[in-house]
């Protein structure tokens, strides 16, 4: 019963946050990417705080090791809900992560669409495979030059039931080709799907979400090793999600 009244409060605050931050993001991204990024981090910290204080959500944040910030990183993660994104933006803010996302997300959502476009994330058309691969290679080459951090969800879509879907390898291999020095970081997210199991009404009260960041793994030296590492990462994420 408590989930209904707390959900109303959360949703009012959540959509007000998206709408209220939009002009701030627009202004600051026009000043500089760094200024826009700081506002984006504040917005995502606010969203996590709203989940915590309005909906009783608790977060367990686990880092197996410190992550390097002087080399390209490719983060490979499962994906359970839209609330996964604030976890990356806030808890990995020192790495300024950028995302591989479907192009539809870049056009109509207040604050979020603007941020995806302005911070240089890859917005891909999942119905055009050849174009997508070329765009990922270009994106990866830029991240290699900038020693950037890329977040990839190889499942291709959210797992609304929490079960890890089979990993699609094409995008991973395209990024690996264009980011030959990138270290690989497995991330597992557990229970965030429960926040949206009813859509947004109600948001269940008292969900515990786990965000587990594994150690950075050395880049593969050939295609065969890349295939082996991707399989190992998938198995690691599955173990942590289902444990």
Q: Token pair for residue 100?
A: 């591989």
String of DSSP letters for 133-195? HHHHHHHHHHHHHHT-EEEE-TTSS--TTSPPPPPP-HHHHHHHHH-TTPEEEEEEEESGGGG
pLDDT in tens, 29-54: 999 999 999 999 999 999 999 999 99
What range defines the domain where residue 71 resides?
3-242
Mean pLDDT of the chain: 95
169, 208 contact by CB (below 8 A): no
How far is 141 from 43, CA to CA, in rounded Å? 29
Q: Token pair for residue 243?
A: 């444990």
What pLDDT band is residue 1 in, cutting at 50, 70 and 90? confident
How far is 136 from 216, CA to CA, in rounded Å? 21
Q: What is the pLDDT of residue 108?
A: 85
Q: Tell me which residue of 143, 136, 132, 167 sits closest to 153, measured CA to CA.
A: 167
Percent of the chain with pLDDT over 70: 100
Number of domains in the chain: 1
pLDDT average, residue stretch 64-68: 95
Q: Tell me which residue of 206, 218, 226 sits closest to 182, measured CA to CA.
A: 218
Q: What is the pLDDT of residue 181?
A: 96
Which value, to the nearest 10 degrees, does the dihedral of the CA atoms of residues 154, 122, 150, 112 take?
Answer: -100
Please, which residues bridge with residue 58 across strands? 208
Percent of the chain with pLDDT over 90: 90
pLDDT in tens, 155-210: 988 998 999 999 999 999 999 999 999 999 999 999 999 999 998 899 999 999 99
Residue 10: give its domain's CATH number: 3.40.1130
């Amino acid at each position: 019963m408590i989930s209904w009244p707390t959900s109303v409060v959360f949703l009012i605050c959540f959509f007000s946050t998206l709408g209220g931050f939009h002009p701030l993001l627009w202004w600051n991204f026009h000043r500089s990417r760094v200024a826009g990024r700081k506002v984006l981090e504040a917005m995502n910290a606010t969203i996590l705080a709203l989940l915590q204080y309005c909906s009783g959500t608790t977060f367990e944040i686990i880092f197996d090791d410190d992550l390097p910030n002087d080399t390209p990183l490719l983060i490979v993660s499962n994906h359970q809900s839209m609330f996964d994104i604030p976890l990356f933006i806030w808890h990995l803010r020192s790495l300024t992560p950028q995302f591989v996302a479907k192009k539809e997300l870049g056009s109509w959502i207040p604050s979020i669409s603007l941020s995806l476009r302005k911070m240089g994330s890859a917005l891909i058309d999942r119905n055009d495979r050849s174009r997508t691969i070329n765009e990922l290679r270009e994106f990866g080459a830029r991240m290699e030059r900038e020693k950037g951090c890329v977040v990839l969800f190889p499942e291709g879509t959210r797992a609304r039931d929490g079960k890890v879907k089979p990993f699609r390898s094409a995008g991973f291999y395209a990024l690996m080709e264009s980011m030959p020095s990138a270290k690989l970081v497995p991330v597992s997210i557990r229970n965030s799907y429960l926040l949206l199991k009813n859509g947004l009404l109600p948001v269940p009260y008292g969900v515990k979400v786990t965000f587990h960041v594994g150690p950075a793994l050395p880049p593969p030296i050939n295609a065969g090793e890349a295939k082996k590492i991707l399989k190992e990462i998938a198995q690691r994420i599955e173990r942590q999600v289902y444990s």
